[in-house]
Structure 1
């Protein structure tokens, strides 16, 4: 028997499932960890620790969401950096300083990489091969400098 909507919503919230979301990444600033076109599974309200990849509001343009690596806490919030040291425009804490705690919205759990050629994924073997490299948990290794 299905649960009433309110009860079902409370159960999802209790399990933390209502806080999960997908977000698509654009731009090269987090390569090679996350590439443009990848999708991230994020958890809103999750505890952030140094080394986590996070979804946050840009401190100078709050309607823009960005993905960065949380390096550590500083006076005024989190210091966040891009993983791609070769990116021409990093758009991270080196540009705008520490990000207030309330602007850090979610922690990325998984990276989903789209198949290079959807038509090529016709066999089970090719789909499994793609999945082996496409779905990866995000590590806490500090790559940003």
Structure 2
């Protein structure tokens, strides 16, 4: 793809040009999928992340400032953030499944340490003998359970 082509296509996309959006997809999807596959082991999940990233890009393109950086970097950032979030969700689901289900006492302890005592995820991990990834995943799972799985939970 020629230098600046993605930027021009994104600028046209921001004005609602569907043909430009399709061309942007064709030009950038392989690279975006490569990033998603590097983060996620599951090819279908990686494809889903890229699809969701393009939906987000379509919606946010009109509000995006060209001064914010290049289009490809912006798209890569969206894909990376979504892939990492999906990885965290998968770890939280695995931790819950591995533990035989959610234990409300564990949720209470983790959430109390985080939100009442103000400990960081790293401090919680150290105190409970968990890896940082497990502490983060369990906090996220606890917040989802606390909010009834509605997705209304704040990020951790």
- TM-score normalised by structure 1 residue count: 0.24
Higher RCO by CA contacts (8 Å cutoff, separation 6 or greater): 1
